[in-house]
Structure 1
């Protein structure tokens, strides 16, 4: 290669490198400025309470002698929005409390490990410091099943009953080999988040619709709350606490299993039919989930995806209220 062409090649490489640096810098600035603006408008609808040295969010409503405690599944960026169709059904008949684990919704992020005992103890302290009164009917969606069962194991005298909304059987999670934590927490995905590429993609309506596909596209949620949900996702997606939850899933499931004894309170297991296309392993372990209580029942809810409460909140509310009124 001649010196002339070598110089041209060097110039091209310098130009390309400069362009990459400019684009990366622009993306980083876009992400930081946009996140700062979102944080100013992302105000808690409930109250923040100090729990283990950090602030934890709790949204309550309704009235009654029993409190329905709603635990979200993994990756549900804003439980307050996600559970809207359900607590609107519950409010006329009972008190409810939606809480945000650390790293979710309006709660702080914490440096404490997301092991199931810590998470259950945080919920216990939150309910105490916020003045909630037992008995509690615990409602859990998806991975929220683990902290809910562990809470019932540690504080059985406080629990009146449990409802699982397509909540996972601990035996299912204990044998899983999902590498989702490596994907969400990996370099490529974190690069998307920090450089604003993820935020930019969420400006495309089709992408937003796809992200809400298994939540019935949030059709039962008011438009203003859909915007709040999107903001929560942009602020919370891929943070260290949510990734640590995934990494701890198998270990947490084994902790719950190690302390297994049939509960003496009602356990209702609501299983999604996934519009006729469920995974066989999930179906099998959902049926086996009944062994976790001496007073259990399982109901398969038709025409639903994983977020059953976004499709048929009336069915979910009816099952919860049956336990509340016992």
Structure 2
């Protein structure tokens, strides 16, 4: 049965009103979203500018591949320990402070801040193991550091594996701090994955992410001034292009290291977390790395991945015992 013409007109008018209201709601929501994004962006820009003024310089710059790499040196010991950071460590020289404080009475400690870390420049050069190793070596050569114990945390264990094979006459021993092993590879990350992350950082949402995250230094032996500087540098370096490029190169770097082993005559000391939260192969794979070493040891710690933050005294004491007989 056909509706009367007047009723059809009224229904059409109601539909138009509903659509008009819906359109207004959509526009209002879009405006709110855009205002929110604009606010986040503006606050991040203002905050970053303010933090730039409060950022304190430390260490010294050395020229590497035409750019400036920051290196922190402390201690007057006869023996030298070179420290390499794990992936994404915002400010290595400050992050390792508890362990450095324990080591400097007996060693000269050299902390390398690779490109994209701490106060070092960014670089667009591929973050292959070969390039990273070459840059670290160039920095040490410019400082005339040519005999040393090499210490690496996390992913630097992978880079160090290539390093000790390339420069066997310089490295006296390797010390791994929950260091990565080639057989436990990271997942492959495509560059298309990192593009949205760049926008996330540029728009200022990384700052919000950090605000909502737990303080990684809470309850640990860091003074308030150091924690403030760590947080400033965390916001400065988080998701920067160099670190994102390193993430994209990580899978191929693991694959390239699969055939590498530590030289059998190189002393190797591992500090490993006793209870890895993801894999039960963590300890066995580290054991395999030193099974042919004439001087290999592994120390298990009831700690998280950043075990040097929570157990600096135990680590330092063991390092002194381990290196005392190495010439």
Distance, in Å, in 1 between the alignment partners of 2:263 and 2:126 is 28
Helix, strand or coil: the match of 2:45?
Answer: helix
- The residue number in structure 2 matching 1:71 is 84
Deviation of residue 197 (structure 1)? 3.0
- The residue number in structure 2 matching 1:253 is 254
More helix by share: 1
Residues 1:34 and 2:34 aligned together: no
1:174-214 deviation digits (Å, cap 9, x = unpaired): xx43659876x362x5454333333134345xx233xx1xx
Residues 1:177 and 2:214 aligned together: no
Q: Is the alpha carbon distance of 1:21 and 1:115 closer, same or farther for their aligned partners in structure 2, counting shifts above 3 Å? A: same
Q: Is the alpha carbon distance of 1:319 and 1:37 closer, same or farther for their aligned partners in structure 2, counting shifts above 3 Å? A: same
- The residue number in structure 2 matching 1:104 is 117
Distance, in Å, in 1 between the alignment partners of 2:222 and 2:82 is 20
What is the TM-score when the length of structure 1 is the normalising length? 0.87
Deviation of residue 17 (structure 1)? 2.2
Q: How many residues align?
A: 312
Asked whether the equivalents of residues 160 and 323 of structure 1 are also in contact (C-alpha less than 8 Å), the reply is no
- The residue number in structure 2 matching 1:298 is 298
Helix, strand or coil: the match of 1:264?
Answer: coil
Query: What does 1:123-162 correspond to in 2, within 5 Å?
Result: 123-129=136-142, 131-162=143-174
Asked whether the equivalents of residues 161 and 323 of structure 1 are also in contact (C-alpha less than 8 Å), the reply is no
- The residue number in structure 1 matching 2:312 is 313
Deviation of residue 152 (structure 1)? 1.0
- Compare CA radii of gyration and give the structure with the larger one: 2
Deviates more, 1:59-68 or 1:284-293: 284-293
Deviates more, 1:40-49 or 1:78-87: 40-49
Deviation of residue 6 (structure 1)? 3.3
Query: What does 1:100-249 correspond to in 2, within 5 Å?
Result: 100-129=113-142, 131-173=143-185, 176-177=186-187, 185=194, 187=196, 189-203=197-211, 207-209=213-215, 212=216, 217=218, 219-249=220-250
Distance, in Å, in 2 between the alignment partners of 1:148 and 1:73 is 11
Asked whether the equivalents of residues 162 and 265 of structure 1 are also in contact (C-alpha less than 8 Å), the reply is yes
What is the TM-score when the length of structure 2 is the normalising length? 0.87
Higher relative contact order (CA 8 A, sep 6+): 1
CA RMSD of the aligned region, Å?
Answer: 2.4
Deviation of residue 257 (structure 1)? 3.3
1:57 to 70, 79, 86: 70
Asked whether the equivalents of residues 60 and 71 of structure 2 are also in contact (C-alpha less than 8 Å), the reply is yes
Deviation of residue 24 (structure 1)? 1.5
Q: Is the alpha carbon distance of 1:113 and 1:180 closer, same or farther for their aligned partners in structure 2, counting shifts above 3 Å? A: closer
Distance, in Å, in 2 between the alignment partners of 1:158 and 1:68 is 12
Distance, in Å, in 1 between the alignment partners of 2:160 and 2:292 is 12
Q: Is the alpha carbon distance of 1:96 and 1:284 closer, same or farther for their aligned partners in structure 2, counting shifts above 3 Å? A: same
Distance, in Å, in 2 between the alignment partners of 1:279 and 1:158 is 34
Q: Could you tell me which runs of 5 or more consecutive residues in structure 1 were left unpaired when the two chains were aligned.
A: none
Distance, in Å, in 1 between the alignment partners of 2:284 and 2:247 is 22
Helix, strand or coil: the match of 2:266?
Answer: strand
